[in-house]
Structure 1
Amino acid sequence: MKKISNKKNLQVLFEDNHIVVINKRAGDIVQGDKTGDTPLSDIVKDYLKEKYNKPGNVYLGVVHRLDRPTTGIVLFARTSKALPRLNKLFASKEANKTYWALVKNKPPHTQDTLTHWMVRNSKQNKSYAHHNEVPDSKKAVLHYKVIKELENYYLLEIDLETGRHHQIRSQLSAIGCPIKGDLKYGFNRSNPDASIHLHARKLSFVHPVKKEPVSIIAPLPNDPLWQACN
């Protein structure tokens, strides 16, 4: 993958004493995994350490994650006071997350609510969407609407009601609309940089310490198709 973040090119969208919000590039992993690649959390720590000339270890709490091939908003806690409060906001669905996705096939409706029962296969790192409840499944709900029609693609805006593993990717695939570049969920070819056209566009929440509303929009990747969506 290209254009992976480092402390010099990090796209910081918001920063104060308690939180820092990053516009994640495709290829960044939020937390360390079996690949051994440097996670975004470590890159942000290095950035903060250098910027504020901090001695020793820098505290950083991971609040939520994005899949490696996706782009967009990732929120981190900079203090141990902020982390549990942010975790509670996300767990109680008080943080509103909006995604944009590009699909080639026209969705069955201009806007709709999708409800599926998801089963995660850890060995395959894949989730399967079922129309009815099955053993070991979890309910998944999202709302989508078509907000732009391009020459060969449709831009969908998606609001998540639940936060399941690969939820958007799996649910859109289940209605015949796999995301551009997403081979795992049925798109016919990969993107050259191994990204998929799924972007965490907007995040709105109440600041964990200041108790003020925060709303952040992540600029789209510098890619011709994404830029046509502006």
Structure 2
Amino acid sequence: MKDGKSLTPAIPILFEDNHLLAVVKPPGVPSQEDESGDPDMLTLLKLDLKERYGKPGNVFLGLVHRLDRPVGGAMIFAKTSKAASRLSEAVRSRTFGKTYICIVQGKPAAAKGQLKHYIRKDKSRNQVTVFDYAAPEAKDAVLDYTVIASNGSYSLVSVKLHTGRPHQIRAQMAHIGCPLVGDRKYGTAPVSGVPDIALWSTSVTVPHPVTKEQLTFTSIPHGQPWEWWSRDELERASSLFL
């Protein structure tokens, strides 16, 4: 087992054993290969495992969940097919926990609450539409949120996902009039000094695929726009739903 070591300066390793690999995904890196042809997490990590362990041939690494390209933070991969199957089942049964923090424009009307909507994805545009009712081909989308701090123009919000729909946090927050900072796809203009969408995967909680021990891997962001808030506020936001 390796704990807290670094793959490269860009991709820190949070945890590794024979079954799991937990890392911090940098913003801007695709979770898996896409039409851009840019280096992606799955390919980069496979190459690293091959080099570090001197493995001949292809290296197995299973993509258990995805983060949108502009989003950074905690992410896990399966190192065996058995682990991939069991972790995928955890996702389906919703025993796979995910928390995030984000910075939104304005402030939600309620300081905390649960958002329940229906989301339909348009694959041709890679964009989703949010409905307040059960619409054709739309899937339920549920999250809890709490506002941690607000400066009048922006708010720091902690989020716990109950479903894992495409662009869920981005689309649902925009739907209630509080789009994420830097998210031009869902309603905000570019913000000076903010290179990516202000959304970060702060924790992933999952039963170990072999030992069944409940594991939580955490990551707290730094840099802009997260520096708008104190370290204490970021830590409180990151740990609220743990």
Identify whether the pair has TM-score above 0.5, normalized to the shorter chain. yes
Given that 1:18 and 1:79 are in contact with CA atoms closer than 8 Å, whether structure 2 keeps it comes out as yes
Corresponding position of 1:103: 104
Q: Distance in 2 between matches of 1:229 and 1:22?
A: 24
| Separation of aligned partners in 2, 1:23 and 1:124 | 28
Alignment partners' CA distance in 2, 1:229 and 1:83: 37
> 1:217 is aligned with what amino acid?
T
Does structure 1 residue 149 correspond to structure 2 residue 140?
Answer: no
Distance in 2 between residues matched to 1:63 and 1:179, nearest whole Å: 25
**Aligned: 1:31 with 2:35:** no
Q: Any conservation in 2 of the 1:7–1:46 contact (CA below 8 Å)?
A: no
Question: What whole-Å deviation, never above 9, does each CA across 1:147-181 have from its counterpart, x for those lacking one?
Answer: 22347421111111111111110000000100010
- Distance in 2 (CA, whole Å) between partners of 1:30 and 1:122 is 17
- Secondary structure of the residue aligned to 2:59 is coil
**2:12 maps to which residue?**
11
Q: Unpaired segments of 5 or more residues in structure 2?
A: 1-5, 232-242
CA distance in 2, matches of 1:191, 1:207: 41
- Displacement of 1:104 in angstroms is 2.1
Q: 1:112 maps to which residue?
A: 113
Q: How many residues were matched structurally? A: 224
How far apart, CA to CA, are the structure 2 residues paired with 1:193 and 1:187? 12
Asked whether 1:40 is paired with 2:41, we answer yes
Q: Give the 3 Å change call, closer, same or farther, for CA 219–163 of structure 1 in structure 2.
A: same
TM-score (norm 2): 0.87
Structural RMSD (CA): 1.7
| Gap regions ≥5 residues in structure 1 | 1-5
Task: Tell me the TM-score normalised to structure 1 length.
Answer: 0.92
* CA 1:202–1:118: 2 relative to 1, 3 Å: same
Instruction: Tell me how far apart the structure 2 counterparts of residues 56 and 122 of structure 1 sit (CA, whole Å).
Output: 34
* Structure 2 SS opposite 1:135: coil
Counterpart contact for 1:7–1:43, Cα < 8 Å: no
**C-alpha deviations, 1:77-107, integer Å up to 9, x for none?**
0111211000000110001100100012111
The answer to whether the 8 Å contact 1:22/1:75 transfers is yes
Shift of 1:202: 0.8
- Mapped to 1, the partners of 2:191 and 2:34 lie a distance apart of 22
Q: 1:153 is aligned with what amino acid?
A: Y
2: distance between equivalents of 1:147 and 1:177? 15
Give aligned-pair identity as a percent.
38
Secondary structure of 1:51 counterpart: helix
CA distance in 2, matches of 1:131, 1:224: 33
Distance verdict in 2 for CA 1:69–1:214, change over 3 Å: same
Hey, what's the Cα distance between the residues in 2 that align with 1:56 and 1:193? 41
**Which amino acid is the alignment partner of residue 33 of structure 2?**
G
